[in-house]
Homo-oligomer: A and B are copies of this chain.
Amino acid sequence: MSSDAANPSARRTELLEAAYRYVLAHGLTSLSLRPLAEAVGSSTRVLMFLFGNKDGLVHALLERARADELELLAGLRADRPAGLAQAADEVWAWLAAPDHRALLRLWAEAYARSLVEPDGPWAGFARATVTDWLDVLAACQPAPERESEEGTLRRTLTLAVLRGALLDLLATDDALRATAAVTSYTASLRSGDAAPE
């Protein structure tokens, strides 16, 4: 291989970036090396050299996509939203941004695929995203709630609302309706926080 996966060469990251743009536009399912190589101005030979094989490429692409997601999560951790409600609002603003549509479609694709084919480069993708997000949401909860069973339940529900609304948005492109639903949820979360049940 050209270099460690931890310390990729300049050419590798350059081609990975180009391939990432290509995959955002065309999806992962029907990805094949020759059209990709041509689109990024390279050859299958080079892709094989830099990524080992196709699975290596796909794996690298999924990691690249995950990097975008982790950036959002890191941002959330950084400014530590006060409570689940604010965190959910911030996340939704990100999810609903039109610029992120292609990435989120890719995300949905990888998620579904990892459910159906538990092996291969997508292995564990779905499970990893769920736990990643639950962890971040937990970090936004006040400490006492975070540890409680009630807290687990709350962040699970919050994640479900975000994911479900995202699916709706991706399918119908009706940002108004989806956003209204999320907003009403976070509003009820807030009032629930103010007056604990």
Taking beta carbons and an 8 Å cutoff, which residues of A are in contact with B?
Answer: 27-30, 105-106, 108-109, 111-117, 126-127, 129-131, 152-154, 156-157, 159-165, 167-168, 170-172, 177-178, 180-182, 184-185, 188, 192
CA distance A168 to B27 in the complex (A): 23
Of chain B, the residue at the smallest CB distance from A28 is B116
* Other-chain residue from B106, B115, B181, B188 in contact with A171 (beta carbon distance below 8 A): B115
CA distance A30 to B156 in the complex (A): 32
| Nearest 10 A/B pairs, CB to CB | A160-B164, A164-B164, A126-B171, A112-B112, A27-B116, A163-B164, A157-B181, A156-B181, A108-B112, A160-B165
* Other-chain residue from B112, B114, B180 in contact with A111 (beta carbon distance below 8 A): B112
Of chain B, the residue at the smallest CB distance from A160 is B164
A165 CB → nearest B CB, Å: 4
**Given A111-B112, A126-B171, is A117 in contact with B30 using a C-beta cutoff of 8 Å?**
yes
| A156 close to B180 (CB less than 8 A) | yes
Which residues of B lie under 8 Å from residue A180 when comparing CB positions? 153, 156
A88 CB → nearest B CB, Å: 12
| B157 close to A160 (CB less than 8 A) | no
| B171 close to A160 (CB less than 8 A) | no
Residue contacts A-B, CB under 8 angstroms, 19 given: A27-B116, A27-B117, A105-B116, A106-B116, A109-B113, A109-B115, A109-B116, A127-B172, A129-B171, A153-B181, A153-B184, A154-B184, A156-B177, A156-B178, A159-B164, A160-B168, A160-B178, A160-B182, A164-B164
**Given A105-B116, A129-B171, A171-B126, is A177 in contact with B161 using a C-beta cutoff of 8 Å?**
no
CA distance A113 to B156 in the complex (A): 26
Of chain B, the residue at the smallest CB distance from A105 is B115
Of chain B, the residue at the smallest CB distance from A128 is B171
Which residues of B lie under 8 Å from residue A163 when comparing CB positions? 160, 163-164, 167-168
